[in-house]
């Protein structure tokens, strides 16, 4: 069974620290199916499904390539913004799954890259 590993480093100054400490993180999940798509929107869209054929994702990486939008996770009415400014992305990792719905809304043209694993 293939394995996906998501790893990185978080580093930010606390108060007036000149050399802030960093914290590394890593998570690995075995997956049986993956879906990788670039999705283009020529204008504004509302609550467009990003799950594709996957119904219970263990991991998801959303990368905004052009524009900006808001995500709704697992049917929530709360919106999570994601934009290309600052290299915007959103990540979900849970080895037991649990991502069952993911939609995007944009106010203008946008392109999003979706990596989905179950």
pLDDT category, 78, cuts 50, 70, 90?
very high
| Residue of 64, 67, 116, 65 lying closest to 92 (CA atoms) | 116
Give the three-state DSSP class for 88. coil
**Cα 117 from Cα 28, distance rounded (Å):** 11
> Residue 102's closest CA among 88, 92, 89, 94?
92
In this prediction, residue 86 carries a pLDDT of: 64
Architecture of domain 31-117: Sandwich (2.60)
**Residue 16 scores a pLDDT above 90:** no
Q: What integer pLDDT is reported at residue 17 of this predicted model? A: 67
What does the pLDDT read at residue 84? 86
| pLDDT tens-digit map of 17-36 | 677 778 898 999 999 999 99
Domain extents in the chain: 31-117
pTM: 0.86
Closest CA to 70 of 36, 41, 38, 47: 47
Pairing type for strands 89-93 and 59-66 reads: antiparallel
d(Cα 63, Cα 81) in Å, to the nearest integer?
Answer: 12
Beta bridge partners of 99: 57
Check residue 103 and give its pLDDT. 98
């Amino acid at each position: 069974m293939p394995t996906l590993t998501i790893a990185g480093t978080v580093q930010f100054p606390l108060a007036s620290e000149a050399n802030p400490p960093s914290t590394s993180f890593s998570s690995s999940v075995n997956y049986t199916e993956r879906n990788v798509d670039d999705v283009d929107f020529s204008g504004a869209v509302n609550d467009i499904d990003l799950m594709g054929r996957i119904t219970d994702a263990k991991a998801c990486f959303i990368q905004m390539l052009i524009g900006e939008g808001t995500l709704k996770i697992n049917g929530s009415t709360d919106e999570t913004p994601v934009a290309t400014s600052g290299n915007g992305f959103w990540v979900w990792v849970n080895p037991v799954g649990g991502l069952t719905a993911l939609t995007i809304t944009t106010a203008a043209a946008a392109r999003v890259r979706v990596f989905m694993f179950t």
